[in-house]
Amino acid sequence: MASPNWVPAGTDLDKPNAARVYDYYLGGSHNFEVDRQMARKAIELWPDLPMIMRANRAFLRRATQFAAGEGIARYLDIGSGIPTFGAVHEVAREYQGDARVVYVDLDPVAVAHSRLILADDPLSQVVDADLRNIDDLLARPEVEALLAPGEPVAVILNAVLHFVTDADEPAKILAKLREALPSGSMLILSHASLEGRPDQAGSHQSLYRATPTPLTMRGREQITAFFDGYELVEPGVVYLPQWRPDDAESVGPNPERMTGMAGVGRLS
């Protein structure tokens, strides 16, 4: 059977892929049976997983709305994955009609599909780059052009830093990224956390060892440290549903079940 037209030549269809598994959790269609099998195994161990992934996506929407409402019209979405309904450019343009977005990912399927759906969007670009090679990422022409005017930029690291191991020195990566940003920029960040459900965290990490992108869970203190140099926006680093919810009832009685933490920081 021929591959769908969004799959680049040479893609390994026999190995699960984190971006496609995430797409499956969100109810998307850009995944294969091998990804669905991994997701089903994960859900057997942790039935809350689809709900957690959707809570993470909802945080991204609220944080993007906040940044756009504060006047930010430039976005650098690193580890953007496969675009699904409610992508950053769609959300931001509800508030900033001329919002520019550079999507960055290292997964060839995510990059190929993003380029396909954004081919007719002159304000959105897609870059194939790796956050762990931050010098290369910042040197890409699309990224340089986004940063060049000196206007504030919202950098989005949504569920991506837990794929950066401690050996890759994420703090140094973030410092270089921060130094490249204009004053008034924001950091939008969510991260899988050890807090709340440490019993499940170990199981999930073991599953991701089967992929090219192993998972590193971190606690609140470590995640908060990623905002070094930024002023945290209220309510700080909290569980996903707790960050500026649409209404109090949407948080639920046990937000720690989401096992993900999130926050937004502003660069003075």
Contact 220, 195 (CB under 8 A): yes
Q: Render pLDDT for 128-177 as a digit per residue (tens, 0 to 9).
A: 999 999 999 999 999 999 999 999 999 999 999 999 999 999 999 999 99
Q: Residue 167 corresponds to which amino acid?
A: A
- pTM attached to this predicted model: 0.87
Task: Please compute the mean of the pLDDT values over residues 108-127 and round it to a whole number.
Answer: 89
Domains of the chain: 51-266 (3.40.50.150)
pLDDT on residue 1: 46
CA distances from 43 to 40, 46, 51, 166 (A): 5, 5, 10, 27
Task: Please compute the mean of the pLDDT values over residues 205-220 and round it to a whole number.
Answer: 71
How far apart, in whole angstroms, are the C-alpha atoms of residue 140 and residue 131? 12
Task: Please compute the mean of the pLDDT values over residues 94-122 and round it to a whole number.
Answer: 91
Q: Which two tokens stand for residue 254?
A: 């046990």
Burial of 182 (0-12, 13-18, 19+ CB in 10 A): middle
Q: Render pLDDT for 190-205 as a digit per residue (tens, 0 to 9).
A: 998 877 665 655 555 5
Q: Which two tokens stand for residue 231?
A: 């002023």
Residue with tokens 């996903």: 240
Q: Which two tokens stand for residue 27?
A: 């109810």
